Chains A and B, each alone.
Chain A
């Protein structure tokens, strides 16, 4: 019987993926989709009252500003640092494992929205005729709404739209 806690299993898988990326095996959207589907198939970690409460906390102005800068940052090194700082701020919030963020893309035509997978430091912009991978696809109609700054997608399946003032919409 495998007694490894589920959250550790997730973490070890992520380490492998990150290592793969470092070795130059860039993850294709397909392999990422397979990873996410595998995650979905397992019952994800349950949201505890503690993490749920932390997710309801208002996001700080620094965090909101950093996320807003994603579109305008072109230098890969600066972008990597930005993603790192965002990841650190999320870890500090203690809201549980965040798969990534999804939001409206302000790069302009043909891109409509983008996904930022925090664990993999992948930023991907999507055209309207492209489909984001499963957990992010659900957030797509939400990203169209002006009411939300971005949408958080957690490993336990929670999708939380965040308003411009940093409050959770759900």
Chain B
């Protein structure tokens, strides 16, 4: 009996030693695996970071390439449209060049009437429907005193385009020193006009007025008529509102695109980023407006000394700029050029094109035409000198437009934004189930950081609680061991039951110790990640708030320039003085 007990106890020792060996081996293997798991986790974090960065870059690339594709498309389209313009209307060019060439030939007197006659008649045949061809035949007939042909040709030109023909002959007469005839043509032209629906060539009148091209008599008539028309039209609220609207669009079209790379953290973390971006972009139009219109104000081109040169330039403009047939194609060109200028941003291109296309409408009222001359002089073919005068005429509209534009974006100004660190704002946040946190930039930074730390600590406390070893762990193996031991007590000899009891207790103890160590290691790993996780979030929060402060400073700096823009407008040299009532 005693031998069997000794045997049992040596067996027990052997079993215990074998279990201990197995445990050591297992522990060393676990520690190797744990090290590898740690490595994998850190690799995974790195990979996720890189993947997210790659995703952002890819998205930016996709957006950019869509814009590039659009720009390329527009570039091709512009080339094609210009080729189309040339194909359809290129032959007019010869007639246009011939018109001023012919007048200059008359000045010099070195070309025979026969040549002038044959050239003009040839052009008449080659360019059907074009108003300028019969006008040239009339000029040729006039030079050789053939009244019959001259009258017939003027009649034909007039029937093809009465406005341009009247204006053409008013200018030609003025050029040839026939003042009375010139004024008669001019009066004829003005009488046939409806000031609320002028065709585009009226811009020539604006241009001629700014250079005093029609002489004293013509100028007085133009000035009276313009004042009368403008006063009548400006009594209509909708006309004034339309001018203010045009100026607001012009200011909006000057707004710049924000470079988002300076505000990456804010863009990623603030739900109100779009409002911040929009207010910065809106305010950025002010310095652009100042630059643009200061250049117009300071424009100091020498006035042409010789009246013939001036009138030739105006005649050139009249015959080249205003052909309605070309407008549909020119509108398309304008839109595609806006896409190219705005580097593929469709919304901005559309806004810009809206301003430009206003200048390419068939008819407009005289007040709107002045505004167009002030905003897009190049599109109605007037000079900067005329633009300068037109800005002065519409100065009140511009002033109101600046006020409205600024009031609109100031009304939407956000002086504080929320910074939101969502459950996936960092890899730590995704790994440790960060619940998400949101705070306004109006909360002081120290206070916000304390709150952020508290949320993170709460998150880690929950994880540590879950990982912490609890005695409840023993319940399951305890029940299994109890059942096995109970069964073994029914086996003879009874000692087997005791051996099993001791073995089971030992195994449960060892497994329990192992679980405790595992839990402690996991807790240590989590605790080690805690500070870096909090630091990462705090750094993201601080970056975002710092960028918001920067954005606000830039905004204030831009916004302040409204006063400079208004000062520029108020001191406009050609400003027409309007009486302000006080109450």
Contacts and interface: CB of A to CB of B under 8 A. Distances in A.
B491 interface: no
Nearest to B401: A170
Contacts of A141: 410-415
* A59, A138, A169 pick with most chain B CB within 10 angstroms: A169
**On chain A, which size bracket covers the interface?**
20 to 34
A119 interface: no
Interface residues of B, number: 21
A8 B400 CA distance: 32
Contacts of A142: 407, 410-411
A58 B562 CA distance: 19
A57 B583 contact: yes
A60 B581 CA distance: 10
Given A141-B412, A141-B413, A144-B415, A58 B403 contact: no
Interface in A145-170: 145-147, 159, 161, 163, 166-170
Contact of A58 (B400, B559, B560, B582): B582
A145 B552 CA distance: 13
B410 A92 contact: no
Contacts of B145: none
A169 B406 contact: yes
Interface string A19-62: 00000000000000000000000000000010010100111100
B399 to A, nearest CB: 9
Given A49-B237, A147-B563, A169 B407 contact: yes
Contacts of A87: none
A147 B406 contact: yes
Given A128-B442, A168-B403, A170-B403, A145 B410 contact: yes
B465 interface: no
Given A169-B407, A170-B404, A54 B583 contact: yes
Nearest to B396: A56
B580 interface: yes
A170 B583 contact: no
A60 B560 CA distance: 25
Given A141-B410, A141-B412, A145-B559, A58 B581 contact: yes
Nearest to A143: B410
A36 B583 CA distance: 28
A93 B583 contact: yes
Contacts of B581: 57-58
* A60, A142, A147 pick with most chain B CB within 10 angstroms: A147
Contacts of A54: 583
Interface string B403-434: 11011001111110000000000000000000
Interface string B567-583: 00000000000001111
Interface in A102-140: 128, 138
Contacts of B406: 145, 147, 169
Contacts of B582: 57-60, 166
A59 B559 CA distance: 24
A101 to B, nearest CB: 16
Given A142-B411, A147-B406, A169-B407, 19 more contacts: A52-B237, A54-B583, A57-B582, A58-B581, A58-B583, A60-B583, A93-B583, A141-B410, A141-B411, A141-B414, A142-B410, A144-B410, A145-B413, A146-B560, A147-B562, A161-B407, A161-B410, A170-B403, A170-B407
Interface of A: 49, 52, 54, 57-60, 92-93, 128, 138, 141-142, 144-147, 159, 161, 163, 166-170
21 contacts: A57-B581, A57-B583, A58-B581, A58-B582, A59-B583, A60-B582, A92-B583, A128-B442, A141-B413, A141-B414, A144-B413, A145-B406, A145-B413, A145-B559, A147-B406, A147-B410, A147-B559, A147-B562, A168-B403, A169-B404, A170-B404
